[in-house]
Amino acid sequence: MTNYSISPTALPLRGSLCAPADKSISHRAAIFAALADGTTHIENYLQSETTHATLDCLRALGAEIEQRDATTLSVRGRGLRGLREPDAVLFCKGSGTTMRLLAGLCAGQNFLSLLDGTPALKRRPMARIAEPLRAMGATILGRADGKLPPLAIRGGNLRGIAHTLPVASAQVKSAILLAALYADAPTRVREPSLSRDHTERMLRGCGVELRIANGETHINPGSQLVIPNSQFAIPSDFSSAAFFIVAALIVARSEIRIERVGINPTRTGLLDALTRMGAQIAIENARAESGEPVGDVIVRASDLRATEIFGAEVPRMIDEFPILAIAATQARGETLVRDAQELRVKESDRIGTLAAELRKLGAQIEERADGFVIAGKTELRGARVAAHNDHRLAMSLAVAGLIARGETIIEGWECVADSFPEFDAQLKRLT
Q: How far is CA 201 from the centre of its chain?
A: 16
- Least distance (Å) between residue 38 CB and ligand S3P: 25
Instruction: Tell me whether residue 48 or residue 302 sits nearer to ligand S3P (CB atom).
Output: 48
Any idea which residues carry the catalytic annotation?
319
Asked if 246 and 271 count as a contact pair (C-beta separation under 8 A), the reply is: no
Are the C-beta atoms of residues 189 and 173 closer than 8 Å to each other? yes
| DSSP secondary structure letters along 189-222 | EE-SS----HHHHHHHHTT--EEEETTEEEE---
Q: How far is the CB of 69 from ligand S3P (least distance, A)?
A: 25
- Interacting residue ranges for ligand S3P, rule: CB under 6 A: 24, 97, 169-171, 174, 195-196, 318-319, 342
Residue type, 115: L
What is the rounded distance in angstroms from the CA atom of residue 213 to the CA atom of residue 218?
8
* Separation of alpha carbons 349 and 221, rounded Å: 36
The distance of closest approach from Cβ of residue 118 to ligand S3P in the complex, given in angstroms and rounded to an integer, is 15
Q: Which is nearer to ligand S3P, 240 or 254 (CB)?
A: 240
- Minimum Å distance from CB 173 to ligand S3P? 7
CB of 147 to ligand S3P, least distance (A): 15
Q: Measured between alpha carbons, how far is 125 from 345 in angstroms, rounded to an integer? A: 7
Comparison of 97 and 396: residue with beta carbon closer to ligand S3P = 97
- Pair type for strands 364-368 and 308-309: unpaired
Nearer to ligand S3P, 63 or 318 (CB): 318
- In whole angstroms, give the CA distance from residue 204 to residue 219: 10
- Measured from the CB atom, is 184 or 216 closer to ligand S3P? 216
Q: How far is the CB of 209 from ligand S3P (least distance, A)?
A: 22
Nearest residue to ligand S3P on Cβ basis: 24
What's the half-sphere exposure (Cβ side, CA atoms, 13 Å) at 21? 24
CB of 96 or CB of 155, closer to ligand S3P:
96
Question: CA separation (Å) from 430 to 142, 247, 394, 402, 404?
Answer: 46, 10, 19, 12, 18
